[in-house]
Each structure stands twice: as C-alpha cells, then as structure tokens.
Structure 1
Amino acid sequence: MSSSMPTLAVRYFAAARAAAGVAEETVPGGRSLDQLTGELVRRHGARLGTVLEMASFLVDGVAWHDRQAPLPAGATVDVLPPFAGG
C-alpha cells in the first residue's frame, strides 16, 4: 500500500475483537461505513458479519450513524458490539 493512499484504523472491542481475531488493523480509506463493513466481513468471515450487524461505530470518538457517508481519511473507527450490563 502506498504511503500516499488514505487509510483507516479499525479497532475492535469485546465480541468484535474475538470474531475478527485481531485487536486493530489498518485498511484502505476512501469508503463509507457500509463499504468498510463489507470489506471486514470479506477479510474475517461471517462471524464478524453477525457482530457488525449489531455493533455501534465511533469515528474519531464520535458516534457515526450515516452508513453511506464517506469516512474521513486517516480516521480511527471503533467497532463496539452490544455490551451486557447488569
């Protein structure tokens, strides 16, 4: 990957980390959240896809709800599955 290509850092927490098999990775940027999650499922499989369907996402610490909007180049995307409380 060229150093001039925009990238995203993806950090996984709890069940997302277990499903992805990694805590963090860097992926090519220039995509929406829907495109990013599709790429992550291709990389890591259907188990992660199930988690991603229920997950919340933070982009640079802010909740990200527009799954079609382009993610900012160089952003950090946190994947937060539902947490059990009690």
Structure 2
Amino acid sequence: MKTLQARAKAAQLADLKDDGRLRATAGKLLVGTDIAVESDSKDVRHGLYDLQFLYLNCETGCTAPVGYRLEKAQVEGCVLTNFER
C-alpha cells in the first residue's frame, strides 16, 4: 500500500506542477483497509466515503473542516481524508 500511495503522490505532484491545481477530471485514489480504488466519479467517491474509504491528498497544507476525517497517510506529505473541495 505504501508503494501505491507513493506512486499516487508522484502523479498528484506532477499534475500540480502544471498549473498549481489538480485537474477536475483526474481520478482520485481512495484507500480502504487493504484495498484501494481510483475513481473519477464524485458520486462513486461519496458512496465509498460512506463505506469508510479515504481520499489520498498530497496537496501542501491540506486540511479538512470539522466533521471530516483527516488521517496521516503512509507516505510523507500526504493525508487521507473524506473531504473534497
């Protein structure tokens, strides 16, 4: 899982380097217990959040409002959260 998260981090950082933000259509990696899913559908992701999956976010300074989960990821500089902007 750490290798998968490291590769997802590299892809996110490469995408952020282009214009400073993630593309709206980019698939997001959601992590569960011993499983990961990539989805570009907001509806699918919200269903997975209900099942306790968390989105791997590697944007610098990522935070989540009160009421959302925010946990440390297995790779440095990333967090796992159920919050999306």
Q: TM-score range by the shorter chain?
A: under 0.3
Higher relative contact order (CA 8 A, sep 6+): 1
TM-score by length of 1: 0.26
